[in-house]
Amino acid sequence: MEPTSHITFDDSLWPLLVVRFSGTPTNQQFEEYLSKRGAYLERKQKHTLIYDTVSFRVLTNEQRQRQINWLKERAGPMKEFSLGSALIITSPVVRLTLSIVLQFSQAHMPYHAARSLPEAASWCAERLASAGFALDAQRVRTHFGLFAKRVTG
C-alpha cells in the first residue's frame, strides 16, 4: 500500500510561503498544487518560498513534464514576483528531479538547496531583507528562532 500523499500550503508568514510535500502526489493533487501556487502568483506580490520535500517521494514523468511546462508558462510572473525558493532536500533522487525540472524549464529565479528548515528559513529571510522587506524578514527569523547576521566593519 502506498503511503498517504499530500501537499500543504502555509502562508501565515506571508510574504514567505511554505509548501510541504509528502509521498508521491496523485495527478489530481499535483494539478491542485499548481493551481494554488498560481493563485499566489496572481496576487502580484513579491514573496519567497520554502519547499519542504523531506517526506516527498518523487514526481511521475507526467508530473515532471507538467511542472516544466507550468514554469515556462509563468516565467515572467515568476521572475517579477518570486524572490527565490529554498528547497529542503535530503534525497538524492529528489535533488536530481529538481535539477532536471530547473534545467528544462529554464527557470531564472534564485534558489537554494537546503538540508534543514532553519537553513531554508534563514536563506528566505535574507532574500526578503535584501528586497526591502526587513520587518517580514525579522518576523521569519523570530518564528524560526534564527538570529539576523550582524554586519561588522
CA dist 72 and 78 (Å) reads 9
Phi, psi dihedral angles at 45 (to 5 degrees): -125, 140
pTM of the full predicted structure? Answer: 0.85
> How much is the pLDDT for 135?
98
pLDDT band at 1 (very low <50, low <70, confident <90, very high): very low
> What are 89-148's pLDDT values in tens digits?
887 776 777 676 666 565 667 889 899 999 999 999 999 999 999 999 999 999 999 976
> How much is the pLDDT for 57?
76
> How much is the pLDDT for 64?
85
> What are 47-98's pLDDT values in tens digits?
999 999 888 777 888 998 998 899 889 999 999 999 999 999 887 776 777 6
Contact at 8 Å (CB) between 14 and 93? Answer: no
Q: What is the DSSP string of 103-123?
A: HHHT--S-EEEESSHHHHHHH
Cell representation of residue 126: 535574507
Give the CATH number of domain 6-143.
Answer: 3.30.750.24
CA-nearest of 97, 96, 141 to 117 is: 141
